[in-house]
Amino acid sequence: MVRRIVYLFLLITIACEHSPEDELPIGATKTVIQGWITDQPGPHAVTVSTTAPYNSNQPAPKISGAQLSIWDDEGNVFSLTESTEPGTYQTHDTVRGVIGRYYTLQVITQEGQRYQSLPELLGPVPDIESLTCQPETQDDIEGCMLSVQLIDPLNQSNQYRWKVSINNQPQDLPADIRLGTDEFVDGSQVTVSLGFYQSQPMDVFEVEQLSLTTPAYDYLLNITSQSLGLGTIFSPAATSVPGNIFNAGDPQEEVLGYFGASSVAVATVIK
């Protein structure tokens, strides 16, 4: 946390830009599995794909025809079906995660590889006390500073993620992954600034507040630090982001991705 603040203002320097892309190495192709289950009504989606060369400038190649299922610790199994979008698999609309249960994802590819996630606890999340949109103009752009207020539950470690949509349009650039931890503020009423968003009057802001386990929080934190300004001498060593998926038949295989579980609290505000 401290670290991020420090390199915030060291990142960009007297920049002269030039791309060394022709020197880029191409690594082995790895399987990537991303998915999340929440306590909201379904469908809950999982994508299965592979890595691509860094400068491919194309969507990642998808893996179709796999069999996916989500298991909970009470023996319930929910199967997923591939949607019209190849490589994207969904649960039935009625599937809904339950707070306090552990969830595991299983993926069996057409080649017979069986991938599994580590069991993930779906933890509770406090309500959003208030969501405010403070109109502001930054560099002649009109918008608002968005912030949420919540009361963090005392004596337990809580991590949060906030997802912002404007007029039902999810904001999903790397900088939009907003994370928080109660490491310093356990049990307090806190105000979290979600940053500045460009918007017009009457825009509808919706904020989802998700609970995260510590590994899920670390995973997302690594995803953001890895996709935002890596490579400086002030950034951590550039590495693969370790997730919670493994190949049950070959634990040595490097698999990327995370299967998470969250409960969600929602609030809406109109500018």
* Positions 187 through 226 that interact with other proteins (CB under 8 A): 188, 190-193, 214, 218, 221-224, 226
- Looking at residue 62, the DSSP 8-state letter turns out to be B
Q: Does 264 bind other proteins (CB under 8 A)?
A: no
When computed from its CA atoms, the radius of gyration of the chain, rounded to whole angstroms, is 20
Q: Does 174 bind other proteins (CB under 8 A)?
A: yes
- The answer to whether the beta carbons of residues 42 and 96 sit under 8 Å apart is yes
- Least distance to other proteins, CB of residue 9, Å: 4
- Stretch of 94-102, 199-207, 235-243, 263-271 contacting other proteins, by CB under 8 A: 235-243
Q: Does 58 bind other proteins (CB under 8 A)?
A: yes
* Residue type for position 234: F
Q: Does 18 bind other proteins (CB under 8 A)?
A: yes
CA-CA distance, 238 to 72, in Å (whole number)? 34
Q: Give the one residue of 19, 84, 94, 155 binding other proteins; rule: CB under 8 A.
A: 19
Q: Which candidate, 194, 52, 185, places its Cα nearest to that of 131? A: 194
Q: How many CA atoms lie within 13 A of 8 on its CB side?
A: 7
Q: Does 249 bind other proteins (CB under 8 A)?
A: no
- Least distance to other proteins, CB of residue 247, Å: 12
Nearer to other proteins, 12 or 202 (CB): 12
CA-CA distance, 113 to 111, in Å (whole number)? 6
Of 85-124, which residues contact other proteins (CB under 8 A)? none
Tokens, residue 166: 């404007």
Q: Which residues contact 129 (CB under 8 A, 6 or more apart)?
A: 148, 149, 150, 151, 189
Instruction: Give the pairing of strands 255-262 and 31-38.
Output: parallel
Nearer to other proteins, 202 or 238 (CB): 238
CA-CA distance, 5 to 193, in Å (whole number)? 15
Nearer to other proteins, 83 or 191 (CB): 191
Peptide bond into 43 cis (omega under 30): yes
Q: Does 234 bind other proteins (CB under 8 A)?
A: yes
- Least distance to other proteins, CB of residue 89, Å: 15
Q: Give the one residue of 16, 94, 111, 201 binding other proteins; rule: CB under 8 A.
A: 16
- Interface size with other proteins, residues (CB under 8 A): 88
- The answer to whether the beta carbons of residues 178 and 195 sit under 8 Å apart is yes
Q: Does 256 bind other proteins (CB under 8 A)?
A: yes
Nearer to other proteins, 202 or 233 (CB): 233
- Stretch of 49-57, 92-100, 104-112, 197-205 contacting other proteins, by CB under 8 A: 49-57
Q: Which residues pair with 181 in a beta bridge?
A: 159
- Stretch of 70-78, 94-102, 120-128, 254-262 contacting other proteins, by CB under 8 A: 254-262
